[in-house]
C-alpha cells in the first residue's frame, strides 16, 4: 500500500510538471514576443533597471512570455486595478453611495430650528467632482432648498458635516512628503467634495521675486498660504504644496513663470467635511436663513459625537451618487487617486468594518488571496499606487486580469480600462500597430517607475492578459514607455 501511494504521488508530480512545461512552452520559444523582451532588457537605458514581464492566455492559462515574472516591483497606478476590481466584486456595478441631510431638535412656530443641521456622509467621492459635472452639480443648493422646504427659517444650532463613516487614519503613512499636499495626494473623506481640491491663484513679477498669493477657488476659509514660490525663467509652474490633511497652513515652494497675472496651483482642501458645512452655511445665509451656531466637522464637536446615535433626527434629503461602475470607469481611465482610495475604503468597510489604512490594505490583500492568488511577495500600502512601498509581481497581476476576464463583472471592468487609440492615459500608444484600438489596460507612472497591465487580442485570436513592470530605469519616462509599447504591439501580433 505504501509503495502504491508513493507511485501515485510520483505520477501526479510528473503529470503536473508536464502540464506546467506545456503551459511554459510558448514562453520558451523564439517568438516575436520573446525577441521584443530580449531587446527591451538589452537597452542601454534599462541596464540598471529591474524589469518583469508576463503574458498569459486568459482562457487556457498558456504562458505566452515571462521574464522575472515573480519579481516584486512597484506598480505605480497599476495598483488601482487591485482596489477597483475588488470593490466591483464586493459591491457590484450598481452600488451607489448616499449622502443624507437631517436635522435634530424641533422647529418652533416661527420657523426657528432649535437644533442642528446635519450632513451625514456616506463616502461619496463624486459630489462637486470635475469628473462628474452632470451629477448633482447643485447639491449644496439642493440641501439649502430642502431646509427651506422643511419650514426652517433660521437655525439656532450648528451645521455639522458628519464624515464619521470613515475614520481619521486614511492617510497612507508611506506616501512621500512632496505628494501629500498636492491635489493628487488628496485623501478620502466620508464627505468628500470638489475632489477634495482647491485651486490656488498667484501673481508673479520680475525674475527672482516671490510670487503673490491672490486667493483660491473654491474659497477655503481659514487656510493660510506661505508662498515661497519664485518667479523664474520657466514656461509653467513646477511647485510643490506641503501640508497635511486637516492642516490649514500650507507652504508652496518652487519656480513659477515670471510676469503672469494668474498662475494656478492645485492643492488639497484641508477638511472636506468642515468645508461642506461652511458652504451650506454660506448658501443658507444668501437665502436669508441665518445660523446662530457655526459650521463643524463632526469629529470636532464632542456634544454631537456623544449623542449622535441616541438623539432623534429627521431626514429631509438623500442624494445618491452615480453607480460604482461609472466611478470605477473614471478611476481607471483617468487614474484618479482619490477615487481609488475610496474604493479601498469600500473594501475595508465590507471586509473588516474599518477604513483605517493598514487594515483596509490588509483586507484587500486577503480578498485576492481568498480568490486563489498567491500573495507571497506582495505588499499593498494604499489603493491608488502613489506609495513607493507597494510591490506586486506580474504573475499576480495576470492572475487578477484572468480572474476578472472570467467574472460576471468583466464587461464593467473592461469598460473602465484605457484603450490605445481611444481615450485615457494609453490613448496615444501603439499607433500604426495591431494593438491600436485593441490593447486596453492601466498605465502606471511615478518617479523611476513605469508600468502597463491589461488585455490585448493576439493575431491568433487569443485573449491575452499582460503585465510589464519596470523600476529604477535611466532616461526619461517617455523613453521607457516607447520600449514597453513594443512588447504590447508584439503581443497583438502574436500568431501561435
DSSP string, 269-312: -S-HHHHHHHHHHHHHHHTT-EESS-EEEGGG-HHHHHHTTTS-
Q: Is the distance from CB of 361 to CB of 174 less than 8 angstroms?
A: no
Cell of 420: 490605445
Region label for 105, one of left (φ > 0), alpha (ψ between -120 and 50) or beta (otherwise): left
Report how far apart, in Å, the C-alpha atoms of 10 and of each of 20, 21, 40 are.
15, 16, 40
Within 92-215, where are the H helices? 139-149, 177-180
Cα–Cα distance between 139 and 334 in angstroms, integer? 24
C-alpha span between 282 and 278 (Å, rounded): 6
Look at the pTM and tell me if it is higher than 0.85. Answer: yes
Nearest Cα to Cα of residue 66 among 24, 97, 31, 98: 24
Question: How much of the chain is in helix, strand and coil states, percent to nearest 5?
Answer: 35, 25, 40
Would you write out the chain's pLDDT as a tens digit for each of its 496 residues? Answer: 555 544 544 443 444 444 444 566 677 888 999 999 999 999 888 889 999 999 999 999 999 999 999 999 999 999 999 999 999 999 999 999 999 999 999 999 999 999 999 999 999 999 999 999 998 889 999 999 999 999 999 999 999 999 999 988 889 999 999 999 999 999 999 999 999 999 999 999 999 999 999 999 999 999 999 999 999 999 999 999 999 999 999 999 999 999 999 999 999 999 999 999 999 999 999 999 999 999 999 999 988 999 988 899 999 999 999 999 999 999 999 999 999 999 999 999 999 999 999 999 999 999 999 999 999 999 999 999 999 999 999 999 999 999 999 999 999 999 999 999 998 999 999 999 999 999 999 999 999 999 999 999 999 999 999 999 999 998 889 999 999 999 999 999 999 9
Grid look-up 437644533 returns 115
| Matching residue, cell 496615444 | 428
Neighbours of 331 (CB within 10 A): 30
In 406-464, where does DSSP find H-type helix?
Answer: 410-415
Edge-to-edge, what's the strand order for the sheet holding 418-419? 63-67, 50-57, 463-471, 449-457, 440-446, 418-419
Dihedral (CA of 271, 101, 356, 335) sign: negative
Calculate the alpha carbon distances from 234 to 257, 262, 263 in Å.
Answer: 5, 15, 12
Q: How many CB atoms lie within 10 A of CB 464?
A: 28
Amino acid at each position: 500500500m505504501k509503495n502504491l501511494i508513493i507511485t501515485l504521488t510520483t505520477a501526479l508530480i510528473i503529470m503536473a510538471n508536464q502540464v506546467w512545461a506545456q503551459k511554459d512552452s510558448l514562453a520558451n520559444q523564439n517568438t516575436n514576443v520573446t525577441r521584443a523582451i530580449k531587446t527591451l532588457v538589452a537597452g542601454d537605458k534599462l541596464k540598471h533597471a529591474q524589469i518583469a514581464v508576463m503574458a498569459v492566455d486568459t482562457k487556457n492559462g498558456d504562458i505566452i512570455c515571462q521574464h522575472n515574472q515573480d519579481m516584486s516591483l512597484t506598480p505605480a497606478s497599476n495598483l488601482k486595478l487591485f482596489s477597483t476590481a475588488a470593490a466591483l466584486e464586493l459591491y457590484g456595478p450598481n452600488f451607489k453611495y448616499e449622502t443624507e441631510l437631517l436635522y435634530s431638535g424641533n422647529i418652533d412656530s416661527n420657523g426657528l430650528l432649535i437644533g442642528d443641521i446635519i450632513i451625514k456622509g456616506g463616502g461619496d467621492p463624486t459630489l462637486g467632482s470635475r469628473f462628474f459635472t452632470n451629477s448633482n452639480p447643485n447639491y449644496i443648493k439642493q440641501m439649502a432648498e430642502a431646509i427651506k422646504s422643511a419650514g426652517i427659517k433660521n437655525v439656532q444650532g450648528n451645521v455639522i458635516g458628519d464624515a464619521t463613516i470613515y475614520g481619521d487614519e486614511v492617510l497612507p503613512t508611506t506616501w512621500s512628503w512632496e505628494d501629500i499636499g498636492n491635489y493628487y495626494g488628496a485623501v478620502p473623506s466620508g464627505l468628500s467634495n470638489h475632489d477634495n481640491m482647491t485651486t490656488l491663484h498667484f501673481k508673479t513679477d520680475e525674475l527672482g521675486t516671490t510670487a503673490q498669493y491672490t486667493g483660491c477657488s473654491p474659497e477655503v476659509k481659514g487656510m493660510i498660504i506661505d508662498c515661497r514660490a519664485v518667479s523664474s525663467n520657466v514656461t509653467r509652474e513646477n511647485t510643490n504644496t506641503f501640508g497635511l490633511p486637516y492642516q490649514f497652513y500650507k507652504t508652496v515652494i518652487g519656480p513659477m513663470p515670471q510676469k503672469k497675472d494668474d498662475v494656478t496651483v492645485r492643492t488639497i482642501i484641508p477638511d472636506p467635511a468642515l468645508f461642506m458645512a461652511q458652504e451650506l452655511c454660506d448658501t443658507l445665509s444668501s437665502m436669508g436663513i441665518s445660523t446662530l451656531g457655526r459650521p463643524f466637522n463632526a469629529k470636532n464637536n464632542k456634544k454631537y459625537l456623544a449623542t449622535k446615535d441616541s438623539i432623534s433626527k429627521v431626514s429631509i434629503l438623500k442624494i445618491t451618487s452615480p453607480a460604482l461602475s461609472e466611478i470605477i470607469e473614471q478611476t481607471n481611465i483617468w487614474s484618479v487617486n482619490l477615487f481609488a482610495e475610496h474604493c479601498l475604503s469600500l473594501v475595508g468597510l465590507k471586509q473588516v468594518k474599518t477604513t483605517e489604512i493598514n487594515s483596509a490594505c490588509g483586507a484587500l490583500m486577503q480578498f485576492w488571496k481568498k480568490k486563489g492568488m498567491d500573495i507571497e511577495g506582495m505588499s499593498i500600502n494604499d489603493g491608488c499606487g502613489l506609495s513607493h512601498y507597494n510591490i506586486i509581481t506580474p504573475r499576480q497581476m495576470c492572475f487578477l486580469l484572468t480572474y476578472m476576464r472570467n467574472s460576471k463583472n468583466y464587461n464593467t471592468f473592461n469598460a473602465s480600462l484605457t484603450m490605445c487609440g481611444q481615450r485615457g492615459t494609453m490613448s496615444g500608444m501603439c499607433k500604426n500597430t495591431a494593438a491600436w484600438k485593441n490593447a486596453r489596460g492601466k498605465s502606471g507612472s511615478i518617479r523611476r517607475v513605469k508600468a502597463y497591465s491589461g488585455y490585448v487580442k493576439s493575431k491568433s485570436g487569443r485573449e491575452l492578459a499582460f503585465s510589464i513592470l519596470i523600476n529604477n530605469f535611466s532616461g526619461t519616462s517617455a523613453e521607457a514607455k516607447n520600449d514597453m509599447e513594443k512588447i504590447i504591439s508584439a503581443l497583438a501580433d502574436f500568431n501561435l
